[in-house]
Amino acid sequence: MKTSDFNPRVDAYINQAKPFAQPILTHLRELIHKAVPAVQEEIKWRMPSFTLDGVILANMAGFKEHCRFDIWGKEMSAILVADGVKVEGGMGSFGRIAGPADLPPDKILLAYLRQAAAFVATGERTRSYERTPRAAKPVPEAPPELTAALKKNKGAAKVFAAFTPGCQREYIGWIAEAKRPETRDKRLAQAIEWIAEGKQRNWKYQTA
């Protein structure tokens, strides 16, 4: 491994780790570079991370009494679980690592790391992690007054129906939160006017 392959920040991280952790982290680092010569070192989330084409392949961390090593990607996670190496919900890809005996043999680790790199090289994996889409919040039932007002104003009703669920919720909540009847009537009239003009509830604060 060439000196230029080392990131000084990773050097500093390992040097500041607990004595028991330093040889473990150093060894894992060397294995990663041996398996994937093109790997790049970074510090992410205050721990050494190893990336290929901008995609995280692995990271490692040293704690007071153990180390952690993760090989990233749902594809690799499935392989590690199938091999009985990774426990679903467990710490890292290999559990708590207190010494070399807690890691698979180098030959197996190298194979896992090369497989992780292959998923990136072939384009099967293009992101460090996949975000789970958030379920859209359901639109609450509109107050009867708003429903009735929209029925009387077809233009406003058409615009309101085209609004995103978030925009609809803002108007519904604004009217429903009015405690006094006169306040609700005033907000309802203003809402219908704005909706007919295609304006969102907080249009005054939106930049053009």
What are the tens digits of pLDDT across the range 45-95?
999 999 999 999 999 999 999 999 999 999 999 999 999 888 655 578 999
Q: What's the pLDDT score for residue 136?
A: 64
When mean pLDDT is compared across 9-23, 86-100, 143-157, 161-175, the lowest value belongs to 86-100
Beta bridge partners of 42: 49
Tokens of 9: 């920040």
Spacing of C-alpha 107 from chain mean position: 31
Residue 135 has pLDDT above 80, yes or no: no
Q: Is the pLDDT of residue 97 over 50?
A: yes
What pTM, to 2 d.p., does this model score?
0.62
pLDDT at 160 over 50: yes
CA 59/CA 57 separation, integer angstroms: 7
Q: Which of 39-48, 130-139, 189-198 has the lowest mean pLDDT?
A: 130-139
Task: Say if residue 195's pLDDT is above 60.
Answer: yes
Do 58 and 32 meet the contact criterion of CB atoms below 8 Å apart?
A: yes
Residue boundaries of the structural domains of the chain: 3-121, 144-205
- The mean per-residue pLDDT over the stretch 195-206 comes to 85
Q: Which residue has the tokens 């604060």?
A: 205
Altogether, the residues listed in the chain come to a count of: 208
Q: Given this model, what pLDDT does residue 134 score?
A: 66
In this predicted structure, what is the pLDDT of residue 207?
54
Q: How far from the centroid of its chain's Cα atoms is residue 32's Cα? A: 24
Centroid of chain to Cα 50: 17
For residue 23 the two structure tokens come to: 């040889």
Classify domain 3-121 at the CATH class level: alpha beta
What are the tens digits of pLDDT across the range 3-32? 447 899 999 999 999 999 999 999 999 999
